[in-house]
Amino acid sequence: MPRHRIVLILACVVGAIFATGLAFRAGMFKSAEGPAAVGGPFALVDQNGAPATEKVLKGQWSAVFFGFTYCPDVCPGTLQGLAAATDLLGPKKAENLQIVFISVDPGRDDVKQMKAYLSADYVPKSTLGLTGTPQQVAAAARAYRVYYAKVGDGPGYTIDHSTAIYLMDPKGRFRTVIPYSLPPEDIARRINDAMREG
């Protein structure tokens, strides 16, 4: 390929990245209800078999993340990190925060499995576990822009999935994203800052 064509292609790529950055700064990707179009209607069931919609996010802060009960590392680590962060928030703010764990493995994570998984000692007592049919789970994942995909065949398959935590305010609106890699101190700080802003 001629050198001038390579330079032109690189210039276009850099220009596209720059334009996207400007668009984010200008707020072109913001929704009418928050800083990003994250979240929306869903229809699932909780670990007790009760119907659960997006209304479960109303009335208190919610840390929402997607995973599965057979997850070997990321999901237990996320729950442990949130448990530690909740302790750092203090009793009053901790009471105003629920953790919402939405399964991306409807084939194995039925109500019974979800309830057993959430009974582990390291799982915060405020955790709400949600699951549903493949179609219901897919709809919830789309609403939160979550990626997931089955990896492998047979009973020992795993799920590749997004690892971010989505902080929703008491009106059910998205407030901020919390990366999986953050330590509990930083998770608590982000939640505390959002709560303070109201």
- Identity of the amino acid at 3: R
Reading the block at residue 8, the tokens are 């032109």
* 118-126: Cβ within 8 A, 24+ apart: 118/47, 122/76, 122/79, 122/80, 122/83, 123/79, 123/83, 124/79, 124/82, 124/83, 124/86, 124/99, 126/86, 126/94, 126/97, 126/98, 126/99
Residue 12 among known ligand-binding residues: no
At what angle are helices 184-197 and 74-89 packed, to 10 degrees?
A: 50
Q: Between the CA of residue 72 and those of 75, 82, 98, 186, 197, what are the distances in Å?
A: 7, 17, 23, 23, 35
Residue 4 among known ligand-binding residues: no
Number of H helices, E strands in the chain: 6, 9
The span from the CA of 176 to the CA of 39, in Å, is 11
Q: Binding site residues for Cu cation, as ranges? A: 71, 75, 161
Q: Binding site residues, as ranges? A: 71, 75, 161
